């Protein structure tokens, strides 16, 4: 293989500036070994009319390619409605303060995005090229960029999510057949993927332990939004969408009006009017990844109030280990991967009454039980670093890429 770092072209349904998740953790580390180009879904924004394709270096060796269309509020609303019509979401109400969203892969601007990406790649020196995909809807990039190796990192069952694009199941089947390497982000996804790809590799998500352990620092200030809230604080951070059990949240907050229920993260794909509104439920919106430990420090209990539905059947929430790094007691509904991977340290409860009772048990945890939990958590955290996961993935990629290039002579 050439001594120059190979190109790694990542196509993600997540924006680089969105909630920091598995793709961000992996690609920011892979940039130590590859020249990374992150291609994200086209943006539409409210702003001075115009459009443009830009490639911005967000980190050393990691650039982000963005195609952005801007227009006035009426134009933005038209784009938004057309997008929903394509994916069967015509009944969804656009939030009044929404100023940017994705047009999705496969939209009418896809040809423009592909043309601009090709022009950007042509301006680079040709190196061995790895295409790293996160969504089947980006299948066209397999033929477009002529990669030497195709990696499909299955982080979610996107076909089970609300407003899944039409044809995604067929695209998923084709991508699984064409990928050279398939990774799965949790045991449930691995099990589901192996029916098509028996050689799929299981790589559960990890944790940036040092970052979230900052919540344990005595000198870290707690943000003003949560500092004065009544205790205890039962907190969550992550995307708020159809995977959150809003009924459970509302009934739990009604049952314990003296507790503060805090949710940090953007509201996506659901009508904000459906969110339960009670004096003790606090929605703080999306916060910068760098500030999350300060909010986590304020949590007396960290919660994962997931609904048990098709969208959560195969999820493996990254936040479990992030909460764990701060040694916060964790209460979750019975998501399969949470139970199988972390059931020895996470309290599990389904239904509002059981959830409230279990949060109370977590609050009442004695010193001896806490120390035993922390000991088990430390062992889980040691085995779950993102660096270790990236090293394992990189070894497989380099071995397979090396064989491919050698066979071509």
CATH architecture of 209-382: 3-Layer(aba) Sandwich (3.40)
Nearest to 249 by CA among 263, 238, 237, 239: 263
Residue 126 tokens, joined: 């040709």
User: Does residue 1 have a pLDDT over 70?
Assistant: no
Residue 154 tokens, joined: 């299955």
For the entire predicted model, the pTM comes to 0.91
Predicted pLDDT at 343? 96
User: Does residue 94 have a pLDDT over 80?
Assistant: no
Q: How far apart are CA 214 and CA 258, in angstroms?
A: 28
Question: Which regions of the chain carry the CATH code 3.40.50.2000?
Answer: 7-206+386-408, 209-382
User: Does residue 269 have a pLDDT over 90?
Assistant: no
Residue 94 DSSP code:
P
Helix (H, G, I), strand (E, B) or coil at 347: strand
Residue bearing the bigger pLDDT, 87 or 369: 369
Q: Tokens 């397999």 label which residue? A: 142
Q: Which stretches does DSSP call E strand in 314-362?
A: 330-332, 347-348
- How sure is the predictor about 2, in pLDDT bands with cuts at 50, 70 and 90? very low
Residue 247 DSSP code:
H
User: Does residue 33 have a pLDDT over 90?
Assistant: yes
pLDDT tens for each residue of 131-165 = 999 999 999 999 999 999 999 999 999 998 888 88
State percent of the chain over pLDDT 70.
99
CB atoms within 10 A of CB 173: 12
User: Does residue 293 have a pLDDT over 90?
Assistant: yes
Predicted pLDDT at 88? 81
Predicted pLDDT at 295? 98
Nearest to 322 by CA among 295, 358, 355: 295
Residue bearing the bigger pLDDT, 111 or 96: 111
User: Does residue 90 have a pLDDT over 70?
Assistant: no
Residues 6+ positions from 48 with CB-CB distance below 8 Å: 70
Residues 6+ positions from 134 with CB-CB distance below 8 Å: 10, 11, 12, 13, 14, 23, 153, 155
pLDDT tens for each residue of 45-78 = 999 999 999 999 999 999 999 999 999 999 999 9
Residues 6+ positions from 95 with CB-CB distance below 8 Å: 267, 272
Predicted pLDDT at 130? 98
Give the number of C-alpha atoms closer than 13 A to the C-alpha of residue 349, restricted to the C-beta side.
Answer: 21
Least confident range of 62-66, 84-88, 150-154, 329-333: 84-88
Nearest to 325 by CA among 235, 385, 266, 391: 385
Starting from the edge strand earliest in sequence, which strands make up the sheet with 347-348, in order? Answer: 281-283, 260-264, 233-237, 301-304, 330-332, 347-348
CATH topology of domain 7-206+386-408: Rossmann fold (3.40.50)
Predicted pLDDT at 40? 97
């Amino acid at each position: 293989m050439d001594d120059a770092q190979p190109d790694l072209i990542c196509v993600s349904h997540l924006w680089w500036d969105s909630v920091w998740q598995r793709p961000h953790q992996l690609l920011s580390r892979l940039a130590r070994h590859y020249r990374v180009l992150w291609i994200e879904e086209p943006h539409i924004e409210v702003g001075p009319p115009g459009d443009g394709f830009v490639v911005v270096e967000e980190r050393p060796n990691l650039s982000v390619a963005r195609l952005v269309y801007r227009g006035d509020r009426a134009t933005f609303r038209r784009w938004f409605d057309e997008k929903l019509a394509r994916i069967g979401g015509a009944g969804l109400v656009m939030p009044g303060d929404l100023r940017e969203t994705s047009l999705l892969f496969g939209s009418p601007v896809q040809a423009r995005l592909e043309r601009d990406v090709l022009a950007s790649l042509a301006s680079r020196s040709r190196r061995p090229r790895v295409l790293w995909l996160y969504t089947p809807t980006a299948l066209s990039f397999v033929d477009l960029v002529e990669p030497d190796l195709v990696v499909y990192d299955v982080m979610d069952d996107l076909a089970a999510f609300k407003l899944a694009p039409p044809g995604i199941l067929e695209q998923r089947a084709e991508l699984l057949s064409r990928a050279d390497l398939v990774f799965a982000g949790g045991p449930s996804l691995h099990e589901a993927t192996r029916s098509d790809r028996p050689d799929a590799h299981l790589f559960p998500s990890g944790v940036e332990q040092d970052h979230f352990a900052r919540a344990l620092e005595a000198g870290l200030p707690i943000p003003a939004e949560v500092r004065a809230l009544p205790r205890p604080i039962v907190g969550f951070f992550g995307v708020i969408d159809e995977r959150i059990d809003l009924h459970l949240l509302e009934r739990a907050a009604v049952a314990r009006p003296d507790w503060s229920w805090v949710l940090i993260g953007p509201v996506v794909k659901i009508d904000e009017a459906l969110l339960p509104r009670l004096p003790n439920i606090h929605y703080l919106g999306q916060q910068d990844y760098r500030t999350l430990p300060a909010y986590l420090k304020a949590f007396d209990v960290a919660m994962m109030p997931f609904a048990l539905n098709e969208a959560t059947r195969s999820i493996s929430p990254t936040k479990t280990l992030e909460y764990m790094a701060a040694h916060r007691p964790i209460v979750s509904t019975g998501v399969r991967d949470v139970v199988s991977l972390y059931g020895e340290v996470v309290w599990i409860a389904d239904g509002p009454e059981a959830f409230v009772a279990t949060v109370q048990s977590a609050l009442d945890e004695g010193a001896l039980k806490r120390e035993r939990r922390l000991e088990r958590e430390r062992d889980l955290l040691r085995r779950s670093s993102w660096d270790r996961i990236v090293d394992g993935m990189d070894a497989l990629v380099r071995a397979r890429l090396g064989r491919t290039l050698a066979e071509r002579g």
